[in-house]
Structure 1
Amino acid sequence: MAREIEERGGQVTTTFQRNRDRYEAFRETEANYLQTVADALLGETDPDMTDLVQCYDLAKAQAANRTDTQASAEVRDDLARLLLPAQNAEWAKTTRANYETAAKAYARAADELVAALKVVDPDAAPESLMDAAPKVRTAWVDVPGLAARLEQAADFLAEAALHAGGSNDEAERIALIARVPDKINRREFWTALEGQHGRAGRWGTLHQLGCTLTPADDPTTVTAYRRPRPIETRYLRTDTGLRPVDYDPETGKPEGAVPAAASM
């Protein structure tokens, strides 16, 4: 997990790096007791026979266990579990700073794309831009690349947020990357977001919906932009009796529609 964050610009503490380097070096090291015995017997000085016998016994034990790969793997896993609490404590020291790094990267990428979207309609037909200013044509060409860069920045933001104590829930990820206007119809928002997008991807859709593409200040306190409540079957009173209608609890329409129990 740490390497992904580091590759995208995040950091770890010096202690975390030292512990990781030592563990990885240890994993690549396997004592060769038999070679130690051979070197001692061939050396210029007389070996300590007591030490040599102990090395030889270890070499025999090593040979006996060489085929027991499962046991070896279990021991390594046990060792990793012993090291994990200390590493987690070190990792926690950098998660907030890494989120801030990711937030800055996301904000820069979002600003670049929004600047282009303000200059040109990303879905305009190419032939309609033949006589457009160079700035407009350049923005049109740049949009897909800027959208892809923003998508990568959003992935980094979501990963950093998760490590900093946030959630990976889709509704919370929306709140993590954008501010949705209060006036927007929640059902229309989700329908648009899950529908077809243009050359700017979902970012173009969010921009068209009036959302502000900005990272949340604190990933642990974001309020999820929940999905709309399901459409209900309710009833309208008419001159001829009750007529079933699809009632949207998000908008309260159609007005006057009542639940089945209330219609009796």
Structure 2
Amino acid sequence: MAPYNKLRGGTIVNLVGELKRLGFKFEFQKYPEMRNKWKVVFECPAGSKANFSTVIGSNDEMLKISDALRMGGKTFLFNLSVAVGRFGENAMLAAVRAGRINHTFRVGGQSFNLRNMTLSAPLQLQNTSGNGLDLVAKITAPRPPAPRWVAFEVKSKMGPDVPFPSLSEAQQRSDYVQRAAEGAFAGIEQAQRAIRRNQTRGRSWEDLIPQKAEVEEFRDAAQDSEVIKIHAKVELDRMGQPVGEIELVAW
């Protein structure tokens, strides 16, 4: 068994994407008697001379995986918890883009269902460390009186035998979305100042600078309590794919 077990969630998500693209068979398996430890087991496509090195790019972590596998066979050990969250967010992102959001809310005595509405391209309101809101999107048509924005907090689990993670104490606060929106906008402005000063620190929100106007609009809506808040629960199979319908409840 290879010892390498410090993989970032993004690395595992990218690894799975490459394995699927190249036709590998694989699944995640729980490692006995080790909390939150998993291994991935895979095999080459039938008739193919491909091996794991086929999926290795320039990512340093991927190169370490390759070295570990050469030493320990075709499995390696890692903490999957962060990657499970990323898989769930990707599943929710795909559902929003495909218009598969079946959630009813009431405004001014009227009922609306997001399934019958068009949402803008969803935005992951997160910095490079993954802090922030999982997904936000604007309702573009037909537009209810208010609110006109939706925020999703996604909780994911792998397999039916484990519970969904709970919302954190901070996430249960009524002003959590507003604070997160304000923090994101302030982070973008800080990143712009750091760029102007040619500083490397303070740029964790740099990737969202092109969406600054959207983030500002969302922040204003959050401050006016005009955001629909949805708690999404995504169950995944042992290949990181969603199982059944995504459960959506008021957040």
- For the criterion TM > 0.5, the same-fold answer is no
Shorter chain as denominator, the TM-score bin is under 0.3
Structure with the higher fraction of residues in strand conformation: 2
Larger radius of gyration: 1
Structure with the higher fraction of residues in helix conformation: 1
Q: TM-score, normalised by structure 1?
A: 0.19
Greater RCO (CA < 8 Å, at least 6 residues apart): 2
